[in-house]
């Protein structure tokens, strides 16, 4: 077990509070679920893309504790691309930072970036005519933020799904290269062929996730936060390598967002239409539970506009946290309200309680199942109460309600209005995951509405 000196903080992004002189487990990935855990920030993270034809990427990292010190910054190069796009200036330097202590997995080092892995040839299959945001809208819950690199989530949406940066690197913090919008195909899938055309023989990273809600709450790479959030939290994040997440949906080639440690996306302003203060809010997220981290905090939801300040937050978490626990070994869906991650409960000692200082005294919430499955679906909704629901999308016929009841007694609903994906409110960027799709909605959706959203995702072909 690797230990390091503890930094006291009120954030859910740090290890549990203990007496300062006691050594604790490092706030980094355990390495138990993904080989990319524990890589030094100066290393070049990479994993070979799955499925499809084309050359494979570099080998992924193994183990978790084999960190080395981060490399110094490298000089940027002029931006160019073999196909179209708009110039964004020179490619930014890789930006080294001090190497931290790794997770408690086996020793290992990060692999090189996979630059040319292609999604492969497409097949047949169709999406439902309506997306999950259409389902929510009919029930009176407007989507105010909706993201997917894989498919259309709103039937009326006609714009691009995401943007890639060619001539990039696996350590790109948001500069250089050439930018290319990746559109949808006529039948609503992300256009993998368009990405392949601009990413041939170059490293491509995802530079923007377009908001399909019409609110233009587009996500870009997250910026530095508080140092107490982990080894790399106080430095800017890296964009995700676009070619790492190759997959098939209904026989169609698409790319998921295959995120690693120190990769996150954010808007650092109040999003248009986002719930504020105690206004009710709903979230759904579909992600790969078989590739979920064991550190803080792989989140999606509503956070502060300033990652360098402590504030309440309201996000859906997937992984294994240091605080609240569910049944089995995880990963679990939980509620990251800041200063803890809750798998259930309203007061200290309740099953699943996730308060930073007292979670260790709470039993696990046995109604919150482990979801180490390819298609893990989670829902979080909040008002003066909160509810966590989830399912293995491939096998479930209905959602499991892990908890629905009073809000945690030590917290209060206080939506700040910014949006984050893959990191915590203070840029705690120690975990990882694979994001397929998700949305944030106004209001407190009915259980029947969430069931209908699940059926929409099933109809889209996930898990078939």
Q: How many CB atoms lie within 10 A of CB 138?
A: 11
Whether residue 182 has pLDDT greater than 80: yes
Yes or no: say if 12 and 356 are a contact pair by the CB < 8 Å rule: yes
Active-site residue flag, 288: no
Active-site residue flag, 450: no
Whether residue 204 has pLDDT greater than 70: yes
Angle at 410 between CA 405 and CA 411, to 5 degrees: 75
Q: Could you report the per-residue pLDDT of 287-309, keeping only the tens digit for each?
A: 999 999 999 999 999 999 999 98
47-51, 104-108, 258-262: range with highest mean pLDDT? 258-262
Distance between CA 432 and CA 438 in Å, rounded?
16
Of residues 40, 28, 92, 44, the one with CA closest to residue 66: 40
Catalytic residue among 29, 211, 237, 338: 338
**What is the rounded average pLDDT of the residues 397-405?**
99
- pLDDT attached to residue 302: 99
Q: Could you report the per-residue pLDDT of 18-56, keeping only the tens digit for each?
A: 323 323 333 333 333 443 333 333 333 333 333 333 333
Q: Looking at per-residue confidence, does 269 or 57 come out higher?
A: 269
Distance between CA 309 and CA 229 in Å, rounded?
11
Catalytic residue among 191, 426, 437, 450: 426
The fold adopted by the segment(s) 132-460 is Jelly Rolls (2.60.120)
Mean of per-residue pLDDT scores for the chain: 81
Grouping H, G, I as helix, E, B as strand and the rest as coil, residue 69 is: coil
Strand order, beta sheet including 332-336 = 220-221, 265-267, 418-421, 299-303, 314-319, 332-336, 341-342
Domain limits, the chain: 132-460
**What is the rounded average pLDDT of the residues 311-321?**
96
3-state secondary structure 249-313: ECCEEEECEEECCCECEEECCCCCCCCCECCCEEEEEEECCCCCCCCCCCEEEEECCCCCCCCCC
Of residues 440, 416, 224, the one with CA closest to residue 305: 416
Across-strand partners of 259? Answer: 433
């Amino acid at each position: 077990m690797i230990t390091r000196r503890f930094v006291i903080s009120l954030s859910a992004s740090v290890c549990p509070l203990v007496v300062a002189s006691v050594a604790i487990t490092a706030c980094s990935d355990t390495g138990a679920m993904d080989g990319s855990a524990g890589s030094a920030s100066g290393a070049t993270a990479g994993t070979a893309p799955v499925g499809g034809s084309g050359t494979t990427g570099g080998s992924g990292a193994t183990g978790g504790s084999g960190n080395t010190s981060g490399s110094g910054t490298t000089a940027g190069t002029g931006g160019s691309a073999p196909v179209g796009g708009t110039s964004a200036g020179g490619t930014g330097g890789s930006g080294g930072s001090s190497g931290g202590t790794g997770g408690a997995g086996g020793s290992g080092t990060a692999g090189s970036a996979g630059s040319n892995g292609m999604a492969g040839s497409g097949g047949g299959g169709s999406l439902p005519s309506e997306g999950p945001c259409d389902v929510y809208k009919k029930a009176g819950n407007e989507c105010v933020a909706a993201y997917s690199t894989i498919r259309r989530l709103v039937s009326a949406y006609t714009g691009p799904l995401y943007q890639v940066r060619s001539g990039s690197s696996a350590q790109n913090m948001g500069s250089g290269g050439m930018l290319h919008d990746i559109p949808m195909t006529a039948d609503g899938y992300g256009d993998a062929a368009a990405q392949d055309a601009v990413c041939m023989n170059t490293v491509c990273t995802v530079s923007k996730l377009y908001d399909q809600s019409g609110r233009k709450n587009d996500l870009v790479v997250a910026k530095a936060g508080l140092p107490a959030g982990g080894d790399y939290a106080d430095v800017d994040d890296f964009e995700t390598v676009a070619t790492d997440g190759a997959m098939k949906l209904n026989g169609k080639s698409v790319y998921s967002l295959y995120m690693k440690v120190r990769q996150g996306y954010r808007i650092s302003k109040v999003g248009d239409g986002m719930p504020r203060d105690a206004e009710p809010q709903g979230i759904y997220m579909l992600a790969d539970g078989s590739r979920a981290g064991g550190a803080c905090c792989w989140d999606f939801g509503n956070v502060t506009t300033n990652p360098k300040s402590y504030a309440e937050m309201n996000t859906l978490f997937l992984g294994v946290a240091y605080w609240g626990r569910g049944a089995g070994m995880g990963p679990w869906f939980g509620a990251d309200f800041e200063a803890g991650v809750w798998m259930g409960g309203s007061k200290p000692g309740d099953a699943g309680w996730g308060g930073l200082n007292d979670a260790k005294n709470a039993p696990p919430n046995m109604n919150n199942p482990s979801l180490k499955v390819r298609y893990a679906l989670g829902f979080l909704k909040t008002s003066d109460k909160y509810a966590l629901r989830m399912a293995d999308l491939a096998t479930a016929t209905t959602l499991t309600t892990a908890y629905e009841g009073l809000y945690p007694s030590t917290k209060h609903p206080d939506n700040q209005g910014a949006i984050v994906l893959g990191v915590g409110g203070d840029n705690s960027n120690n975990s990882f995951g694979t994001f397929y799709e998700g949305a944030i909605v106004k209001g407190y959706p009915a259980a029947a509405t969430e069931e209908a959203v699940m059926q929409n995702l099933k109809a889209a072909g996930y898990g078939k």
